[in-house]
Amino acid sequence: MAHTTPLRNPEDTKKTHNLGSLQLRHHESNQIILIPTPTNDPNDPLNWSARYRWYIAVVVCAAIFFCNFLAAGPTVAILEITADFYGAPQENPNFVADISKTAYFFTTTALMQGMGAFFWMPLIIKYGRRPVYVSSFVLYTICAVWAGASMTPGSELASRIIMGVAAGAAEVLAPLTLSDIFFLHERGTVMGVYTCALSAGVSGGIIVSGLISIKHNWRVIYWVSTALIGACTILVIFTFPETIYLRDDTATEAIRSGEETKVDMAKNEVTETEEAAASMVIPEKRSYLSSLRLYSGIYTQESILTLFIRPVVLFILPQVFWATLVMAGTIGFLVAITSNFGSAFSEAYNFQPWQSGLCFIAALIGAFIGIFVGGKFSDWVADIQTRRNGGIREPEMRLPAILVSVVTAPLALVLYGVGIHYKLHWICATIGLGLINFSIVQATNISLVYTIDCYRPVSGEITVTQMAFKSALGFLLSFYTNTWVLKSGYLNAYGAMAGISGGLLVLGVPFYFWGHSMASPGSRSFRGTALILYLRPGILFPKLSNMYRERFS
pLDDT in tens, 218-231: 999 999 999 999 99
Summarize the chain as % helix, strand, coil (round to 5). 75, 0, 20
Query: DSSP secondary-structure letter at 73?
Result: G
What CATH number has the domain bearing residue 100? 1.20.1250.20
Domain-located, residue 277? no
Compute the Cα dihedral for 202, 208, 210, 212 and give only its sign: negative
> For residue 479, what are the contacts with CB-CB under 8 A and spacing of at least 6?
107
User: For residue range 305-363, what is the model confidence (pLDDT) as tens digits?
Assistant: 878 877 777 787 888 889 988 888 787 788 778 777 877 898 899 998 889 889 999 98
Where does the pLDDT of residue 257 fall: very low under 50, low under 70, confident under 90, or very high at 90 and above? very low
pLDDT score of 1 more than 60: no
- State yes or no: pLDDT of 130 exceeds 80: yes
20 is a domain residue: no
Pick from 199-203, 235-239, 537-541: least confident: 537-541
pLDDT digits (tens, 9 = 90+) for 422-475: 999 999 999 999 999 899 889 988 998 888 778 776 766 777 778 777 767 766
Most confident of 31-40, 273-282, 311-320, 521-530: 311-320
Q: What is the pLDDT of residue 17?
A: 40
Distance (Å, whole) CA 406 – CA 273: 44
**What's the rounded Cα separation, in Å, for the pair 173 and 466?**
13
370: in domain: yes
| φ/ψ of residue 29, rounded to 5 | -90, -15
- Give the gyration radius of the chain's Cα atoms: 24
What's the mean pLDDT when you consider all of the chain?
A: 78
Segment 479-497, tens digit of pLDDT: 677 678 778 888 998 999 8
Model pTM above 0.75: no
Residue 532 has pLDDT above 60, yes or no: no
* Predicted confidence (pLDDT) at residue 501 exceeds the cutoff of 50: yes
Burial of 382 (0-12, 13-18, 19+ CB in 10 A): buried
How confident is residue 28, by pLDDT bands cut at 50, 70 and 90? low
Residue 528 in this model has a pLDDT that exceeds 60: no
pLDDT of residue 219: 94
CB 399 within 8 A of CB 515: yes
Q: What is the pLDDT of residue 547?
A: 46
Three-state SS string over 192-260 comes to: HHHHHHHHHHHHHHHHHHHHHCCCCCCHHHHHHHHHHHHHHHHHHHHHCCCCCCCCCCHHHHHHHHCCC
Domain presence at residue 167 = yes
Q: State the pLDDT at residue 542.
A: 45
For the chain, the first-to-last Cα distance in angstroms comes to 24
Average pLDDT over residues 113-138: 88
φ and ψ of 368, to 5 deg: -65, -40
Q: What integer is the mean pLDDT of 152-179?
A: 88
Beta carbons of 199 and 405 less than 8 angstroms apart:
no
Give the sign of the dihedral formed by CA 18, CA 177, CA 251, CA 28: negative
pLDDT reading at 13 higher than 80:
no
Peptide bond into 153 cis (omega under 30): no
Please state the domain count of the chain.
1
Domain-embedded: residue 12 = no
pLDDT band at 515 (very low <50, low <70, confident <90, very high): confident
- Between 46 and 138, the more confident residue is 138
For residue 514, the model assigns a pLDDT of 84
Q: How far apart are CA 443 and CA 334, in angstroms?
A: 14
Q: Give 393's DSSP letter.
A: E
Dist CA 105 CA 90 (whole Å):
23
Is residue 258 assigned to a domain?
A: no
Of 188, 199, 170, the closest CA to residue 441 belongs to 199
Residue 287 domain-assigned (yes or no): no
Asked if residues 342 and 79 have their Cβ atoms less than 8 Å apart, the reply is yes
136 found inside a domain = yes
Least confident piece of the model among 159-168, 305-314, 497-506, 527-536 = 527-536
Mean pLDDT across 365-384: 84
pLDDT digits (tens, 9 = 90+) for 91-102: 888 887 888 788
The boundaries of the domain holding residue 82 are 48-246+301-519
Residue 534, pLDDT > 60, answer no
Residue 268 pLDDT level (bands cut at 50, 70, 90)? very low
Does residue 538 or residue 355 have the better pLDDT?
A: 355
Q: How far are the Cα atoms of 45, 190, 242 from residue 50, in angstroms, in the given order?
A: 10, 12, 17
